[in-house]
């Protein structure tokens, strides 16, 4: 069986190609800054949007044509979907994928049935991984779709929901280990609140901290060495998600003594929902030493929700790659397309167009960022801007040898500060355009 009979392996044809089913920039063997593109990006396809997305929105049902899918939640259908997924990823040339437990296998009547279903599908995933060499970037547990999680999972007011979530994450860690997953992700799902009148925030956060400690301990006990990642998001589905942005996550991890065990998985559309740019979130995570991986997508700034569109904007991908290169890359994380084709793009071939466009946009962004870095102009302007810290009083302050008294003596003697220089905002924005 083949699900994509008209598509052969997507090839790199170079910038002049007019073939939409070819890469113009992503050349997996090409070396940039000492690393192949394949290793820079570690591109990953998500199971949930790409193989489970229906195109439904609040105003109408699904539109996606997926001829291999019989519309049932049977195990047989789930297994057929695995074969299609690997055919797709193989033809695309994506080295990784990511899934939630419930994307790949149906829930049964009891937790035991559900675990058995998962085991059955995981055996097929493993077989396909071995056949193709495609690897698991990360696994995660869906702790938000089933109505039992209506009030959250680890932060639910119902302690049984916490216990069920623990059992579910335990199993998901086991299968992620079984499949050699490089990371394990915790996105908050419904961990947040709609209303503070009915919320004991202190208790909920304590429970979340305890839950993550249990996960760390269990992973250690089974020998799972993948990187744990938290994925910040400010809102949706709840009004306020506890992991609202990189800074909030880092504060939470530090407060609950978890910082050594986690890094962050930064998602573009979540950054913009938080009122930040993606580059802001990457820089903040990077300077704190917790930049782990990215969920690559983009929002629509005219729509105020998580539309998870595929990224095609070179400014965005250039900014991402400037930060990622600066902090030494993402591995063992990667560039995971947590993105979906829009409702109007309902044919199977659109899945190829979407991913090729995203991969090319990142490859182009990498080349632009590398050119900016190689030229060194931006770096030297930055260095120049902070030159007052490399000598004189700046150097004394940075070395920790100043205090309020000595600084007052210095300023009383000097009378006023050295004149400020221009920030050159427009010049810098214009400078970046030279490389695009």
Closest by CA position to 219, among listed 185, 193, 259, 247: 185
Choice between 143 and 322, CB closer to ligand XLS = 143
Residue 295 binding ligand XLS, by CB under 6 A: yes
Q: Write down the least CB distance from residue 309 to ligand XLS, Å.
A: 13
Q: Is 100 annotated as catalytic?
A: yes
Measured distance between the N- and C-terminal CA atoms of the chain, rounded to whole angstroms: 43
Q: Which of 128, 243, 338, 360 binds Ni ion (CB under 5 A)?
A: 338
Sort 35 into a burial class: Cβ within 10 Å, 0-12 / 13-18 / 19+: middle
The answer to whether residue 191 forms part of the interface with Ni ion (CB under 5 A) is no
Identify whether 103 is a catalytic site residue: yes
Stretch of residues binding Ni ion (CB under 5 A), selected from 26-34, 156-164, 330-338, 371-379:
330-338
* Least distance to ligand XLS, CB of residue 100, Å: 6
Name the catalytic one among 40, 101, 103, 280: 103
**Contact between 231 and ligand XLS (CB under 6 A)?**
yes
Nearer to ligand XLS, 267 or 360 (CB): 267
* Closest approach of ligand XLS to the CB of residue 29, in Å: 29
Q: Identify the helix (H) or strand (E) that includes residue 316.
A: helix 314-326
Q: Which is nearer to Ni ion, 36 or 145 (CB)?
A: 145
Burial of 378 (0-12, 13-18, 19+ CB in 10 A): middle
Give the number of residues in contact with ligand XLS, rule: CB under 6 A: 10
For ligand XLS, which is the closer residue by CB, 326 or 342?
342
Instruction: Please give the full DSSP string across 36-63, using - where no structure is assigned.
Output: EHHHHH--EEEHHHHHH----BTTB---
Q: List the one residue from 115, 140, 272, 309 that touches ligand XLS (CB under 6 A).
A: 140
Which x/- pattern, by CB under 5 A, does the window 284-323 give for Ni ion? -----------x----------x-----------------
Count CB atoms within 10 A of the CB of residue 40.
26
Site for ligand XLS in 155-194 (CB under 6 A): 185, 187
Q: Where are the alpha helices (DSSP H) in 141-274?
A: 159-178, 201-222, 246-255, 268-273
Query: Could you write out the DSSP letters of every residue in 74-90?
Result: -HHHHHHHHHHHHHHHH
Contact call for residue 241 and ligand XLS (CB under 6 A): no
Q: Which of 102, 207, 233, 263 binds ligand XLS (CB under 6 A)?
A: 233
Applying CB under 6 A, the residues found at the interface with ligand XLS are 100, 140, 185, 187, 231, 233, 267, 295, 306, 338
Per CB under 5 A, residues contacting Ni ion are 267, 295, 306, 338
Active site (catalytic) residues: 100, 103
């Amino acid at each position: 069986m083949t699900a994509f009979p008209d598509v052969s392996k997507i090839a790199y044809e170079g910038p002049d190609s007019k073939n939409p089913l070819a890469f113009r920039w992503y050349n997996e063997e090409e070396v940039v800054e000492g690393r192949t593109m394949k290793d820079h990006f570690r591109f990953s396809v998500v199971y949930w949007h790409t193989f489970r997305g229906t195109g439904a929105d609040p105003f109408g049902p699904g539109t996606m044509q997926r001829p291999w899918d019989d519309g049932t939640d049977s195990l047989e259908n789930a297994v057929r979907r695995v074969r299609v997924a690997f055919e797709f990823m193989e033809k695309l040339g994506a080295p990784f994928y990511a899934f939630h437990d419930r994307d790949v296998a149906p829930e049964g009547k009891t937790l035991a049935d559900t675990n058995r279903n998962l085991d059955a599908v995981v055996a097929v995933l493993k077989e396909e991984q071995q056949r193709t060499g495609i690897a698991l970037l990360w696994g995660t547990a869906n702790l938000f779709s089933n109505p039992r999680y209506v009030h959250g999972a680890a932060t639910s007011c119902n302690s049984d929901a916490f216990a069920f979530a623990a059992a579910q994450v335990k199993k998901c860690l086991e299968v992620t280990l079984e499949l050699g997953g490089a990371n394990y992700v915790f996105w908050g799902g419904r961990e947040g609140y709609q209303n503070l009148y009915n919320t004991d925030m202190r208790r909920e956060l304590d429970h979340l901290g305890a839950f993550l400690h249990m996960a760390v301990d269990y992973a250690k006990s089974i020998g799972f060495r993948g990187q744990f990642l938290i994925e910040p998001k400010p809102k949706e589905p709840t009004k306020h998600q506890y992991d609202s942005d990189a800074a909030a996550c880092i504060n939470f991890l530090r407060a609950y003594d978890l910082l050594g065990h986690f890094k962050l998985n930064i998602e573009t559309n979540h950054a913009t929902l938080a009122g930040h740019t993606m580059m802001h979130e990457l820089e903040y995570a990077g300077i704190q030493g917790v930049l782990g991986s990215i969920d690559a997508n983009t929002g629509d700034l005219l729509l105020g929700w998580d539309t998870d569109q595929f990224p095609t904007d070179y400014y965005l991908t250039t900014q991402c790659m400037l930060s990622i290169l600066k902090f030494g890359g993402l591995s063992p994380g990667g560039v995971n397309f947590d993105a979906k084709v829009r409702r109007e793009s309902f044919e199977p071939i659109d899945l190829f167009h979407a991913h090729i466009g995203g991969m090319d946009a990142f490859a182009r962004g990498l080349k632009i960022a590398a050119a900016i870095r190689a030229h060194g102009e931006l770096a030297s302007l930055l260095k120049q801007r902070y030159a007052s810290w490399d000598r004189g009083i700046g150097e004394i302050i940075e070395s920790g040898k100043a205090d309020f008294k000595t600084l007052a003596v210095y300023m009383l003697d000097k009378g006023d500060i050295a004149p400020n220089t221009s920030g050159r905002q427009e010049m810098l924005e214009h400078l970046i355009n030279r490389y695009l």
